[in-house]
Structure formats: structure tokens, C-alpha cells
A and B are shown apart, each in its own frame.
Chain A
Amino acid sequence: MATRRNKTQSSKRTQLGRRGFESATETGYVKPPGTTGRFLVLFRSGAEKAGIDTLNKHAGIAMTSSVDFAEKPSTAVAEMGRDSGLFFETLGVAVVDTEPQTIQSLSVDGTSDNPILAVEPERVVYALDGVVSVGGPVIPSPIPSAALSNSMLDYLRGYRDAVNHLADRLMKPGQASSAAEEALVAAALDESEVTWGLQVTSVPKSKFSGQTIRIAVLDTGFDLDHPDFVGRSVVTNSFVPGQSVQDGHGHGTHCIGTSCGPQHPGTLPRYGIAFNAEIFVGKVLSNAGSGSDSSILAGIEWAVKNGCAIVSMSLGSPVTAGQGYSQVFEQVAKRALAAGTLIIAAAGNDSHRPSLIAPVGHPANCPSIMAVGALDSQLQIGYFSNGGLNTQGGQVDIAAPGVQIRSSWPRPTLYNTISGTSMATPHVAGIAGLYAEANPQTRGLALWSLLVQRAKRLSLPSRDVGSGLVQAT
């Protein structure tokens, strides 16, 4: 442990008032508002000792280790003198009290042999209960409604209703609410090269293609001879008694198109995301579009057994208000997650907003299944998209493009533009495929976290969009 230097220099400083709270030093440095005047130094992992030596040699800083002040770290920081520092062993970070020009002279250039990764001014922070820190508005703590008289409650309700009414009249429907959302909406109007859905989810910017990733789409099957999929790896299985995998409906071909369609389709625009993924087609819905739990469970079993990182299920069965979720599907989904398979399902199309919002359907309402809501090109919620109304499970986890979505369709039609949470789901599945390729160790719940973390937060209720608009990068 380094010894403390002679502190005669610091006595001059104390004449100016409490150390660290003056607004300018003799050198003219102006401490940014909301900072203490001290600095945080981040050391490169494994190079902490070299970093401490650097600070000692070049800045004359005497460092004390957290090991030596374990009892009263807050006191240690408060009593720290000029040209000294406190090193938090576990964090690899030191708090340093030194001249600003000293710390600024340290080269923080990110080269591999520099033990110092970053230097930042130490910020002042405040507790958040009811009072916002300096510079923001003061927000009063809420008064318990029991303390409010009836006339006061009526007044507040009336005031709130009047403000809402005025705001609704002034705000045009379909207006994006933030600069970021407006930028996305404006950019996606031209569908000559790439569908709007791929544009707003940043798919063209991704360096990945789903190479080596197995994506299972459980649906009405696939048009196995569609010209856009020549040469692709396609593994198939039918769980519909008496019917082959060949898609006699169209829905399955459309969903496979969105999740796994080609980078260069026969006809523009590009509509597919994971263009090098290995496609696993599980027919669980008949050519008439009907299916049952047993065929879907069989499809999930097959996908998990075959090491599919992602299962996309654009299907659902309506549930009633207050209804819970299936224990069977919840446990199956949990076991799938543990085995490295993420199941993504459509929230359902039973709603008719604004007058009717229906709850997320089965099996997307299972907590361990990622439920997807549908957005339009203005990043507003699709009128049919279900919401997270029920208290037992039933949440919408994420949202994706689901209105006027162009994708592949069985021959001879080749392409079709339709809407639904069924169309939003394979957007998430395809993007999950890109993340799975980019992060080979990230599967199951960890892959779920990545998708949610990277989603673009919207100004819409999380009841309808979960963590927001899925993003490929």
C-alpha cells in the first residue's frame, strides 16, 4: 500500500471552502454542475496494479485499497485528501481526488497496453422519492386518495378528463411520438427494394443471415417448390394426419418467407430476414387452417429434439377475460428454453381497437412463450392486435411489423400482402435467428433477453407492445 504524501499543498485549498465544492480552481477548470470534483478511473481487467502504479508515478496519487477500509467506505471517501485515491478491488474502479489537468494528462487512448480504460467526473446523485435532482421539475409525492375529500376527487377527475379530451383533439391519430420514431416512419415509405417491415427493424443493417441456425416454423406447411427457396436447407415433417407438408393454405409459406426468405428474391422487394437459416417446416395446421394442442405439442417436441434455436408459431386460440394459461404449454416452453429453444408466438387477432381489446390468446399467453404484438408502418398498434389484459400470464412481450406485410405465397401467386400478429411473429423469429448466429452461446432465455434489450422503446402502452419494436441491430 502506497503511503500518503505530505499534504501541505492541500492546506491552501481548504481556505477556499469544502474541498471539491468550489466552482473553479486556480487553473480555471470549471467543475461541471452535479459533480463532486473527484474522478472515477476505470482500470482494464487484469491491469489494475499497473493502473494504480501509473496514477502514482504520473499523478502522484497515493491509493488505498477497499480491503483496508471495508468497515467504513463512505467515511474513507469523505476523508480522502488531495492526490489520493480509493480503489474498489471487486469493481476495478478507483475514486481519485486530484487536479483536473493531472487526470486529463493521463492518456486514455484505449490501446491494448493502457491500463486505464476511462476517466469520468464523479457525479452527485439523489434519492428519487418524489423529488427530482437539480435541473428538473419538482414532482410532488402523491397524496393517498383516502386523504382527499370527495369534492377534491371530483375536481381532479374532471380536470384530468378535460385535459385528455383537449389533448386527443389536438393530437392527430397516427402521429409518431418521438424523433426516433418519426425518423423510422419517414424512412420506410419506399418499398421498392426492401419491405417496410425489414426497414423499421433495421434488418438490412445486420451483418448476419442466420447461417447454421435452425428455425422451426409450425404452421400450415410450405410450398416446397417456391422459386425463391431453391437450394435452401429445408427439413420437413407433417403432424396433420393424412396431409403432406406441402402448403395448401398459404399462411405457412408467408411466415417462412418473412422469417427465412432470400436476400435476393426473384421479384423485389426483399421480404425475408434470416436468409441462410436452416428451415424446419412443421405442419401443425391443416390446409384448411385448423389444428389442435396435440399437433402443436408434437411440432414443438420435434423442433427441440432437432436442436432448433427458434420456434415460430403464428397461431392462437382465443381466451376469455380472467382466463389463465395452459400449465402444459408453460412447462413445455420452460423445458424448451432450458434446452436452448426459444418459442415465439402470435398475441392473436381477436381485437377491434379502439372499441375492443381482447386478451392475448393461447399459447402466447404462457409466460415462457414470447408473445408478439403487431404494428403498422406508422408504428401504431394494429387494430386487431391483442393486449396484455389478463392477470395470470397473458403479457405482450415485444412488437413487430404486422400490417400490410408482403411475403412469399404458394405458386402460382408467389407473393401476397396480408396483416396479422401472425406476420409480426416471424419478424421476431427471423431476427432471433440473426442474434443466435451472432452469439453462438446465447440461447433460450438469454436470447429472449437480447431481443428485449435491443428493442426500440415506443411511446405506446407496454400492454400492447411489451418492450417495443424488435430490432435486428
Chain B
Amino acid sequence: MEKASISILLDDKHVHRIHEVAKEAKIAGMDVHQILETSGVLTGLVDRSEIARLRKISGVASVEEEKQFQIAPPESDVQ
């Protein structure tokens, strides 16, 4: 199964319990890479099929697939 890079947003009430939510996300199959305590966000990898399970975890406000960025090459007029 293909893995997706995701960001999980915690709701305001659970930001201070981010480590507990991270544990639950791991149990649900997420490979947690970053725990951003001030922002209230977890990032990492998960099988696409598990995303629905992650959304059901108490304290999870939003799960998004991450976007990629690419700026123009250095010799471009417009950057």
C-alpha cells in the first residue's frame, strides 16, 4: 500500500496533550516524524487506507496530505 505524507492538526483542547495523540497515531499505523508542540501539529507517513482511522482519534481536528513546493531556478527572471 502506498504511503502518504500527512500533517495532522490537533484541536485547541488537545494541543497540550500532543504526545498522547502522537502515541495513538502510531498505534493507528502512522510513522510520526515530527511533533510540533507549539503549533499543535504532527507530521509523518501513513498508509492511505489508515487516514480515515487517524481522523477518528480524539483531538484530531484535521488530516491533510502534504503539498510540495518548487521555486524557479536561480537564473529565472521571475522567482
Beta-carbon nearest neighbor of A305 in chain B: B38
Beta-carbon nearest neighbor of B15 in chain A: A335
Given A315-B71, A419-B77, A304 and B38 touching (CB < 8 A)? yes
Given A249-B74, A250-B74, A297 and B39 touching (CB < 8 A)? yes
In this complex, which of A293, A301, A316, A423 has the most chain B Cβ atoms within 10 angstroms of its Cβ? Answer: A293
Question: CB-defined interface of B39-79 with A at 8 Å, one 1/0 digit per residue?
Answer: 11101000000000000000001101011111111101111
Interface size on A, residues (CB 8 A): 39
Interface size on B, residues (CB 8 A): 30
Contact among A250, A293, A314, A384 for B7, CB-based, below 8 A: A293
Q: Are B38 and A418 in contact (CB under 8 A)?
A: no
How far does the alpha carbon of A335 sit from the alpha carbon of B74 in the complex, in Å?
Answer: 33
Which residues of B approach A to under 8 Å, CB–CB? 5, 7-9, 15, 33-34, 36-41, 43, 61-62, 64, 66-74, 76-79
In this complex, which of B9, B34, B73 has the most chain A Cβ atoms within 10 angstroms of its Cβ? Answer: B9
In this complex, which of B38, B41, B43, B79 has the most chain A Cβ atoms within 10 angstroms of its Cβ? Answer: B79
B8: A residues at CB distance < 8 A:
328
Q: Are B43 and A293 in contact (CB under 8 A)?
A: yes
Contact among A293, A332, A423 for B66, CB-based, below 8 A: A293
Q: Are A291 and B38 in contact (CB under 8 A)?
A: no
How far does the alpha carbon of A349 sit from the alpha carbon of B9 in the complex, in Å?
Answer: 28
B36: A residues at CB distance < 8 A:
297-298, 301
Question: CB-defined interface of A291-302 with B at 8 Å, one 1/0 digit per residue?
Answer: 111101110110
B78: A residues at CB distance < 8 A:
349, 384, 418-420
Beta-carbon nearest neighbor of A239 in chain B: B34
Q: Are A294 and B43 in contact (CB under 8 A)?
A: yes
Beta-carbon nearest neighbor of B67 in chain A: A317
Docked complex: A266-295 residues within 8 A CB-CB of B: 285, 289-294
